[in-house]
Structure 1
Amino acid sequence: MIRPAEFIHPEDAAALSQLESIPGFPALVKKILSLGLEQFAYGINMASTIRLSPNQLPRLYNHLPPICRKLGIDEPEFYLQMDPNPNAYTFGDTKIYITVTSGLIELLGDGEELDAVIAHECGHILCRHVLYHSIADYILRGADGLGILGALTVPIQYAILYWQRKSELSCDRVGSIITSPEVVARTMGRLSGGPKSITAEISMAEWAKQADIYDSIRNDGLWNKALQIYAVALQNHPFCAVRVREIIKWGESGQYKNLMRNLHLNESGTVCPRCHKPVDKDWAFCKHCGMKL
């Protein structure tokens, strides 16, 4: 089983802590949940999209179960939506479901790039992002029209969207755990530049450098910084060049390499089930934590 502490992006953790410390945020969450909007959205999704299963488009559905088993999470419901825009999202609280669009399938096909996207969405479940992501979605859809948001809660709107952008970086790491950093970067290339026939030869290193240039523009004086903050304030995802740079950097880190090594050992049965540290097959007890093996 993979634990969020083993891969969570530090900016995600810091932004979430900051979000939850904002006065009024817990009350806002409670108020939104009391409106029954989750059941409302779930009903619409059930009636308007196609639920995938072993008996319904199994070729697509079969991507999900092995990813959930590897991550150690319960399998969410899985849906296909007719939408030419490539997209995937996870929604809900008591009933969590993942939806992928027809545009995403047409763009990526049904290989490892699709696995990377589904794993990313499962990462939101593993990291317990889904409740706050759903609340962010209510905000973006105009929950203020329901009388639960006003001028006094605008800072919460910006804070939750800021955290949402950072949370995507953690889930890109989950996509890398299931596939690889290279596959995740390649998937970003498809989403930014088009199908494989156009983007197959993208240099990810060159693309990542664009994120460095972007940082230099953003940090070139207070006015440029303010403009760039304004540009992303209402976005729920980071820019793709930034995501590619972050995932390439993480793929080269000791944290990623140690995590993948431990997963390999775990799958081969040579890791302690309690402390997740490597053990010798001849040990009766784990010498790290003392658990009987």
Structure 2
Amino acid sequence: MNNMHTIDFIHPEDATALEALQRIPMLPKVVKSFMDIGVEQLQTGLNMATKIKLSPTQLPELYNILPPMCELLDIKEPDFFLEMNPIPNAYAFGDTQTAITITSSLVEMMSKEELRGVVAHECGHIACHHMLYRTLAYMLANASGMVESLLSLAAPIHYALMYWSRKSELSCDRVAAYMVGPQTAISMLSRLAGGPKNITSKLNLMELAEQADLYDALCKSDLWNKVLQTYAVMNQDHPYTSVRVRELLKWTETPHYKSLTSSKRICPHCHQAIYEDWRFCQHCGKKL
């Protein structure tokens, strides 16, 4: 990277969970087996056949979000797809053949800046070297048929992957906050919890973050509540929104975050905040 390193964004719980994951004896074999059966090739074909591949000449207003993110994070540009889906979502897939998909309802629900935050988050998975294990986690989380039957034989691996996957999201939320600012990154998360801007524009973000403390208190109130909430989350590959908001707010108040963003400057064309190593403004697109 130009002025940053991947380690700047890694959440401590992400690092700890990944270290535990890598100690599972069978995991390298499981990952290799999944990749050897052509998971990436299969998904690449499905992407090309069923989604719209964004490019400089195909819906450029969406595509143009991606290149500045890749440049700033110093990553190879993934394929970028738009998928018709009533569920607002975005996801990165693949290890050697990476791709990012955003859904039509996500585009409709998010402001332009929030959509940039979503793309930054997904690019964060690539920059943080999450993709190999995330691809396996994605396959397991969406398992059906034969894969679902095999999953029952590897339940410990599945739960370990889901646990790490949840923690990895916290790191990529940090990437989003760095790229688009904490307010935009947090409002992006709030949309996913409560819906479009016409409903959630006046959301109290601090109060949303405080829900995570209430959730923690509930989990700790007695053993049965802890068991119930552990059961509820164990198959989830994303942490709950209030937890994500709280963790992001905490990080953006640290000296570490403030030192990362201390090189901000102002675009002479649109007067928006930019970073020292940008070659062109991500807000107006003009060269700097």
Q: TM-score w.r.t. structure 1 length?
A: 0.87
Residue correspondence of structure 1 range 34-113 to structure 2 within 5 A: 34-109=36-111, 111-113=112-114
The alpha carbon displacement at 1:140 in A equals 2.2
- What is the distance in 1 between the residues matched to 2:120 and 2:100? 11
Number of matched residues? 267
Counterpart residue number, 1:140: 141
Gap regions ≥5 residues in structure 2 = 266-273, 278-288
**1:197-226, Cα deviation, whole Å (9 max, x unpaired):** 111111111111111000000111222111
Residue correspondence of structure 1 range 192-231 to structure 2 within 5 A: 192-231=193-232
- What is the distance in 1 between the residues matched to 2:240 and 2:97? 30
Tell me the secondary structure at the aligned position of residue 57 of structure 2. Answer: coil
The alpha carbon displacement at 1:7 in A equals 1.8
- Report the residue type matching 2:9 in the other structure: F
Counterpart residue number, 1:241: 242
Q: Which has the larger radius of gyration?
A: 1
- What is the distance in 1 between the residues matched to 2:16 and 2:164? 9
Tell me the secondary structure at the aligned position of residue 59 of structure 1. Answer: helix
Counterpart residue number, 1:172: 173
- Report the residue type matching 1:188 in the other structure: L
**1:214-251, Cα deviation, whole Å (9 max, x unpaired):** 00001112221111110001011000011011111111
Counterpart residue number, 1:280: none
- Report the residue type matching 2:92 in the other structure: T
Gap regions ≥5 residues in structure 1 = 270-293
CA contact (8 A) 1:162 1:236 kept: yes
- What is the distance in 1 between the residues matched to 2:233 and 2:189? 18
The alpha carbon displacement at 1:150 in A equals 5.1
Tell me the secondary structure at the aligned position of residue 126 of structure 2. Answer: helix
- What is the distance in 2 between the residues matched to 1:150 and 1:97? 25
Q: Please, which of 4, 10, 31 is the counterpart of residue 8 of structure 1?
A: 10
**1:25-62, Cα deviation, whole Å (9 max, x unpaired):** 11111111111121011101111000000000001111
The alpha carbon displacement at 1:149 in A equals 2.9
Matched, 1:120 2:121: yes
Distance of aligned partners of 1:240 and 1:45 in 2 relative to their CA distance in 1, 3 Å threshold: same
Tell me the secondary structure at the aligned position of residue 177 of structure 1. Answer: helix
The alpha carbon displacement at 1:142 in A equals 2.3
CA contact (8 A) 1:133 1:164 kept: yes
Counterpart residue number, 1:163: 164
Tell me the secondary structure at the aligned position of residue 149 of structure 1. Answer: helix
CA contact (8 A) 2:141 2:237 kept: no
Most deviating of 74-83 and 149-158: 149-158
Tell me the secondary structure at the aligned position of residue 97 of structure 2. Answer: coil
- What is the distance in 2 between the residues matched to 1:231 and 1:146? 22
- What is the distance in 1 between the residues matched to 2:42 and 2:134? 16
**1:123-172, Cα deviation, whole Å (9 max, x unpaired):** 00001111111111221232671498354421000000000000000000
Identity of aligned residues (%): 49
Counterpart residue number, 1:286: none
- What is the distance in 2 between the residues matched to 1:33 and 1:143? 17
Most deviating of 168-177 and 191-200: 191-200
CA contact (8 A) 2:82 2:103 kept: yes
Counterpart residue number, 1:129: 130
CA contact (8 A) 2:14 2:167 kept: yes
Tell me the secondary structure at the aligned position of residue 100 of structure 1. Answer: strand
Q: TM-score w.r.t. structure 2 length?
A: 0.88
Tell me the secondary structure at the aligned position of residue 211 of structure 1. Answer: helix
RMSD: 1.8
